Amino acid sequence: MHIHILGICGTFMGGLAALAAEVGHKVTGCDAGVYPPMSDQLRALGIDLIEGFGAEQLALKPDVFVIGNVVTRGNALMEALLNDGARYTSGPQWLAEHVLQGRHVLAVAGTHGKTTTTAMLTWVLEQAGQAPGFLVGGVPLNFGVSARLGTGHAFVIEADEYDTALFDKRSKFVHYRPRTAVLNNLEHDHADIFPDLAAIETQFHHLVRTVPGNGRLVVNARDEALQRVLARGCWSEVQRFGTRREEPGGLCTRGDAQAFDVLRGSLMLGRVEWDLLGEHNQLNALAAIGAAEHLGVDPEVACSALGSFRNVRRRMELRGEAGGVKVYDDFAHHPTAMRTTLDGMRRALPGGQRILAVFEPRSNTMKLGTMKAQLPWALEDADFSFGLQGAYGWRVDEALAPLGDRFAVADTVDALVDDIVRHARNGDHVVCMSNGGFGGIHDKLLARLQPA
C-alpha cells in the first residue's frame, strides 16, 4: 500500500509514518515545514518528503491520503483531493486499522504526564521481555525513537484527547480501542476546541466505553474529574493509584520522589530508585506499574525496571551548563504542569540555589488567555520568572503582576536572553518551558553565559 501523509512532520504523524514504513508500506508525505529532526528521521527511513501542500501531489496517486489534524479546509491539497473524490482517512483511524488491530493496546490518557508515563510503561514491558510496540509523543531516551512496531503482542500508545481531523471531531483516543487504559489526570485544556472541562470529561467517558469488560482502567484516585467520568459508567476492572495507604487495593508510595516504596494498601510491592524529580513522576510510575501488571508483569519487576528509566527528551532535560548556570528544557506549557515541574525541582535542590523560570505561552489554550490568571500560581516556586510577550491579545506583564518585582517580560527571545543573563548568577538553574522550540533560547543562553 502507498500512503501519502498530510502533516507528516508532527510527532504523531511522523511516528505513524515510521510504523507504516516498518510494516512494509510505501510512505510519502508533505508538511508546511519540512525540517529536522523529524525530517532527518523520516528521510533516514527512505520516506520522501515534499515541502508544502500543493495540489499537484494528487498525481502521486497513493492508495490513500492520511490527513493530519493540522490540515484545514482551504488547504490546497485537501481541496484538490476532495474535488477529485480521492480516498482519505485520518491518522488515528489508519493506525487503528493497520497497526493496532489484533494487539493488546495500552493507551495512556490525561492532561499531564502522557508522554512520560507512556515511555515508562513501554520500558517496563521491554525490560520484562515483552518487546512491545509503541508510539510516543516524544523521544524516550531508553529507545532513541518515538515509534516502533515491536515483535510482542503489546502496543503502548500515548492517547491524546485532541480532535482527530477536520472531518472527525472525536478525540484521537476513541480510535485505539485499548484493553488497558491509563487515566492519569484531567483538567481543562485545548480551549480552542473544548469550551469547558465537562466537554473533555465526555470524551474521556467515550474512551471508557471502548474498554472491554476484561480490560483494566488504571485511574488516578486523587482526580475528581476522573471520578466523575467513572460515575457516568464503567464496565471494566479499575486499579486506582495515588490512594491513601489505609485504602485497600490502591497503589500508593512511601518515601521521597527519588527513592520510594510502592505499596498496595499497606503491602509493599517493590522499591523505585531513580533520578526523576517530583511527586508527579511518582504517580506516573504507579500508573505504569498498574498497567503493566494487567499484562502479567509483577510490580516488583516493574519497580526494578523503572530504576533504569531515562525519561524523555524535553522533560527537564539538562541542555548544558555555562558560567556555573544550568539550563534545562521542559515541555511544560499548562499552568499545572509548570507548577509541578518547578515544585519538583524546588524540593530536590539544596537550600540557597535559585530557580529562574522562563516560559512561552505557545499552546492554543495559553495564547487565548484562558489560563493567564493561573500563571502567578504556576510560577510560585521560582525565585524569578521571565515571560515572552507575543501577539496574544492579552498582556503577560499584567498577568504576572501578582508576582511583584519577581518577573520580567520581553517582546523577543533575544531580549529575553539579555534579561536572563543580567539576572543569572553562579549556581542558578534556568528552566525554559514551552511546547515549541522557543526560538533556540537554550543554545543562545548557553552561548551568552560562557565566561569571556
To the nearest 10 degrees (0 to 180), the angle between helices 413-423 and 441-449 is: 40
The pLDDT value recorded for residue 37 is 66
The residue with cell 530504576 is: 307
C-alpha span between 61 and 169 (Å, rounded):
27
Residue 21 contacts residue 45 (beta carbons within 8 Å): yes
User: Measuring CA to CA, which residue among 100, 101, 118 is closest to residue 109?
Assistant: 118
CA dihedral (242, 156, 192, 281) in degrees, to 10, reads: 30
User: Measuring CA to CA, which residue among 285, 221, 223, 292 is closest to residue 253?
Assistant: 285
C-alpha span between 343 and 355 (Å, rounded):
10
C-alpha span between 120 and 289 (Å, rounded):
9
Residue 312 contacts residue 139 (beta carbons within 8 Å): yes
Q: Which domains does the chain have, with CATH numbers?
A: 2-90 (3.40.50.720), 102-306 (3.40.1190.10), 317-449 (3.90.190.20)
Mean pLDDT of 298-309: 97
The pLDDT value recorded for residue 92 is 97
The pLDDT value recorded for residue 209 is 97
Residue 120 contacts residue 142 (beta carbons within 8 Å): no
Q: How confident is the model at residue 112 (pLDDT cuts 50, 70, 90)?
A: confident
Written as one string, the DSSP assignment of 86-131 is --EEEHHHHHIIIIITTSEEEEEE-SSSHHHHHHHHHHHHHHTT--
Q: Residue 196 CB: number of other CB atoms within 10 A?
A: 9
- CA angle at 57 for the pair 53 and 60, rounded to the nearest 5°: 150
Q: For residue 263, what are the β-bridge partners?
A: 252, 268
Q: φ and ψ at 196, to 5 degrees? A: -160, 175
The pLDDT value recorded for residue 193 is 78
pLDDT more than 70, % of the chain? 99
The pLDDT value recorded for residue 2 is 97
Q: How confident is the model at residue 253 (pLDDT cuts 50, 70, 90)?
A: very high
C-alpha span between 145 and 123 (Å, rounded):
13
User: Measuring CA to CA, which residue among 240, 234, 168, 167 is closest to residue 206?
Assistant: 234
C-alpha span between 379 and 394 (Å, rounded):
18
pLDDT at 44 exceeding the cut of 80: yes
The pLDDT value recorded for residue 191 is 66
Residue 321 makes CB contacts below 8 A (sequence gap 6+) with 327, 446
The pLDDT value recorded for residue 207 is 97
- CA angle at 236 for the pair 208 and 132, rounded to the nearest 5°: 80
Range in 115-119, 178-182, 327-331, 347-351 the model is least confident about: 347-351
Question: 405: phi > 0 → left, psi -120 to 50 → alpha, else beta; which?
Answer: alpha
C-alpha span between 263 and 58 (Å, rounded):
57
Mean pLDDT of 124-139: 95
Q: Helical H runs in 170-298?
A: 197-210, 224-231, 279-293
Question: 376: phi > 0 → left, psi -120 to 50 → alpha, else beta; which?
Answer: alpha
pLDDT at 233 exceeding the cut of 70: yes
- How does pLDDT run across 146-175, given as a tens digit for each residue? 899 999 999 999 999 989 999 999 999 999
Q: φ and ψ at 125, to 5 degrees? A: -65, -40
Q: Between these two residues, 97 and 193, which has the higher pLDDT value?
A: 97
Q: Residue 41 is inside which H or E element, if any? A: helix 38-44
**Mean pLDDT for the chain?**
92
Residue 66 contacts residue 97 (beta carbons within 8 Å): no
Query: Before 376, cis peptide (omega within 30)?
Result: no
The pLDDT value recorded for residue 36 is 63
The residue with cell 488516578 is: 220
C-alpha span between 166 and 145 (Å, rounded):
28
The pLDDT value recorded for residue 96 is 97
- How does pLDDT run across 349-360, given as a tens digit for each residue? 887 799 999 999
AA identity, residue 278: G
Residue 182 contacts residue 225 (beta carbons within 8 Å): no
The pLDDT value recorded for residue 190 is 67
pLDDT more than 90, % of the chain? 70
- How does pLDDT run across 6-23, given as a tens digit for each residue? 999 888 999 999 999 999
Q: How confident is the model at residue 292 (pLDDT cuts 50, 70, 90)?
A: very high
Mean pLDDT of 382-401: 91
The sheet with strand 88-90 has its strands ordered as: 48-51, 26-31, 2-6, 64-67, 88-90
Q: Which own/partner contact pairs does 409-416 have at CB distance under 8 Å and 24+ positions apart?
A: 410/386, 412/388, 413/388, 413/438, 413/439, 413/440, 413/441, 413/444, 414/444, 416/358, 416/386, 416/388, 416/441
Is residue 156 classed exposed, middle or buried when 0-12, 13-18 and 19+ CB atoms within 10 A define those classes?
A: buried
Q: Supply the pTM of this predicted model.
A: 0.82
pLDDT at 113 exceeding the cut of 90: no
Give whichever of 109-113, 199-203, 342-346 has the largest mean pLDDT: 199-203
